[in-house]
Amino acid sequence: MKPILITLTYIVIALSPTRFFSQTQAMKKNTVKETSPVLLIHGGAGTILKKNMSPEKEKAYRAALSEVLQKGYDTLEKGGTALDAVEIVIRMMEDSPLFNAGKGSVFTSDGKNEMDAAVMNGADLKAGSVAGVHTIKNPISAARAVMEKSQHVMMIGSGAEKFAQQQKLEIVDTAYFFDQNRWDQLQKIKKSEKQQLDHSGDTTGMLLPHKDSKFGTVGAVALDKYGNLAAGTSTGGMTNKKYGRVGDAPIIGAGTYANNNSCAVSATGHGEYFIRYTVAHDIAALVEYKGLNVKQAAEEVVMKKLLKAGGEGGVIVLDAKGNFAMPFNTEGMYRGYMLRGKTPQVMIYKDEVKP
Structure confidence at residue 46 (pLDDT): 85
Structure confidence at residue 195 (pLDDT): 53
- Please report which confidence band the pLDDT of residue 210 belongs to, taking 50, 70 and 90 as the band edges: very low
Task: Report percent pLDDT > 90 for the chain.
Answer: 75
Structure confidence at residue 197 (pLDDT): 53
CB 297 within 8 A of CB 274: no
pLDDT digits (tens, 9 = 90+) for 134-172: 999 999 999 999 999 999 999 999 999 999 999 999 999
Q: Is the pLDDT of residue 331 over 60?
A: yes
Structure confidence at residue 21 (pLDDT): 35
Q: Output the pTM of the full model.
A: 0.86
Q: Concatenated DSSP letters for 250-318?
A: TSBTTTEEE-TTS-EEEEEE-HHHHHHTTHHHHHHHHHHHH---HHHHHHIIIIIIIHHHT--EEEEEE
First to last CA, the chain: 64
pLDDT digits (tens, 9 = 90+) for 220-276: 999 999 999 999 999 999 888 888 999 999 999 999 999 999 999 999 999 999 999
Lowest mean pLDDT among 108-117, 189-198, 215-224: 189-198
| Residue 53 neighbours by CB distance under 10 Å | 17
Structure confidence at residue 49 (pLDDT): 82
* 152 vs 354 pLDDT, higher one: 152
- State how far the Cα of 152 lies from the Cα of 128, in Å rounded to an integer: 7
Determine phi and psi for 92, rounding to 5 degrees. -60, -40
Mean model confidence pLDDT for the chain: 87
- Please report which confidence band the pLDDT of residue 185 belongs to, taking 50, 70 and 90 as the band edges: confident
* 286 vs 208 pLDDT, higher one: 286
Q: Concatenated DSSP letters for 207-242?
A: --TTTT-EE-EEEEEEE-TTS-EEEEEEE---BT--
Structure confidence at residue 47 (pLDDT): 78
Q: Is the pLDDT of residue 62 over 90?
A: yes
- State how far the Cα of 105 lies from the Cα of 285, in Å rounded to an integer: 32
| Structural domains of the chain sorted by starting position, each given as residue range(s) with its CATH number in brackets | 2-31 (no CATH), 38-349 (3.60.20.30)
Lowest mean pLDDT among 89-103, 125-139, 191-205: 191-205
CB 119 within 8 A of CB 83: yes
Which among 57, 154, 93 has a CA at the least distance from the CA of 102? 93
pLDDT digits (tens, 9 = 90+) for 7-44: 434 333 343 444 333 333 333 333 468 999 999 999 99
CB 152 within 8 A of CB 168: no
Which residues belong to the active site? 217
Pairing state between β 324-325 and 332-339: unpaired
- State how far the Cα of 2 lies from the Cα of 78, in Å rounded to an integer: 49
What average pLDDT does range 201-207 have in this prediction? 36
- State how far the Cα of 129 lies from the Cα of 144, in Å rounded to an integer: 7
